[in-house]
Structure 1
């Protein structure tokens, strides 16, 4: 069964594009538990467009573009953690921002990942600062008992940074997704196929 959580070391690093690539390559449906901000194309809409896989509706769709805990408060929505259970079967789950983004005032995404016990793929950018951000993210997940499947790097090649993060953390490198331009379903599939071994996601 293909079943993974995709998280990141920061917001806006490209984990939705990676999620789309992984969903397309595996054929697994996609689920974004909480979407904050509805004015622009949502993450679910991006994945549907680029991956062509089934997309489960978000459990919460919040108008305000902010951290889920704050967006929910501004929108007068109560996030019930019991409703945030991943659908059964093959699934690619994408969190919001980084692993320590608050879902509520008392619960972080990393806490949910530990509760779910679904293998986590950590997406890390390759630009300056990634070593610190990546190792902090991995330590936060490990300390909560969240299972980590591997690291997916995003951006231009930076061999030393990628290697030292994997060596110090003990988490394997799955591959690196370069910047894809133009970004289409076909170019994304080709980039993923060229840089990742699908057998590592079996």
Structure 2
């Protein structure tokens, strides 16, 4: 078993204590503005409330620092802004465009060193991607290639409303083709989505429909599950 794994695993020691293996995840989405940061921050808070040494990082960002600051706050500001977000482009555009507009090359070495440091430091870590699974980064690599190099399992965040089945299935298909294991799917029902009011039946049945089409667990993240801290077992490690 690798030291970084998505599977919940428990190992009994000689004195019958239980040791928990790390849960390190790559959080990707079916689109941009899908709620990856919001959910990642909530997930980190839930982990920490359960006693795990947890944090979230967003190695690449384009625009402001709001997302990185939200992840910092979720981990009680244990990390600096630079540790959470080592590559930050000022322009709110796609990364490969930002490298041109802002005239800033990717510092892959610095970013990878920052990620490795966080992986060694925390038992539970959410590494948030940028945009969707196939977003170009520097003109040579896509988010997919970056995720493959990190060897982290993927957690997919998707909308809960109209159109999400197609987007989610396409994302799953691409991730599976890349060989990256998938932990599960989060349907972000808390995200403001006009289709929820316009097509309430589709909104209400999407989770059930997806469950019949995929082999991965699905978590509907809404105001109720958020407020009550209803973290599913597959996203937590039994204490």
TM-score under structure 2 length normalisation = 0.72
1:149 counterpart SS class: strand
- Structure 1: where are the runs of 5+ without partners? 181-186
Asked if 1:34 is matched to 2:60, the reply is yes
Higher CA-based Rg: 2
**C-alpha displacement of 1:199:** 5.1
Asked whether the equivalents of residues 2 and 26 of structure 1 are also in contact (C-alpha less than 8 Å), the reply is no
Write the deviation string for residues 94-135 of structure 1: whole angstroms up to 9, x where unpaired: 011111111111211111112212111100111111001101
Taking a change above 3 Å as real, the CA distance of residues 26 and 154 of structure 1, as seen in their structure-2 partners, is same
CA distance in 2, matches of 1:6, 1:63: 22
Superposed CA RMSD in Å reads 2.2
Asked whether the equivalents of residues 87 and 107 of structure 2 are also in contact (C-alpha less than 8 Å), the reply is no
Instruction: Give the match for residue 170 of structure 1.
Output: 215
Write the deviation string for residues 8-67 of structure 1: whole angstroms up to 9, x where unpaired: 1111121111000111111311111111002xx521112233553534331211101011
Asked whether the equivalents of residues 158 and 185 of structure 2 are also in contact (C-alpha less than 8 Å), the reply is yes
Instruction: Give the match for residue 72 of structure 2.
Output: 48
Asked whether the equivalents of residues 123 and 153 of structure 1 are also in contact (C-alpha less than 8 Å), the reply is yes
Asked if 1:154 is matched to 2:188, the reply is yes
Taking a change above 3 Å as real, the CA distance of residues 45 and 200 of structure 1, as seen in their structure-2 partners, is closer
CA distance in 2, matches of 1:177, 1:102: 28
- Count residues with an aligned counterpart: 190
Deviates more, 1:65-74 or 1:155-164: 155-164
Q: How does 1:107-122 map to 2 (within 5 A)?
A: 107-122=141-156
Taking a change above 3 Å as real, the CA distance of residues 74 and 68 of structure 1, as seen in their structure-2 partners, is same
Asked whether the equivalents of residues 21 and 51 of structure 1 are also in contact (C-alpha less than 8 Å), the reply is no
TM-score under structure 1 length normalisation = 0.84
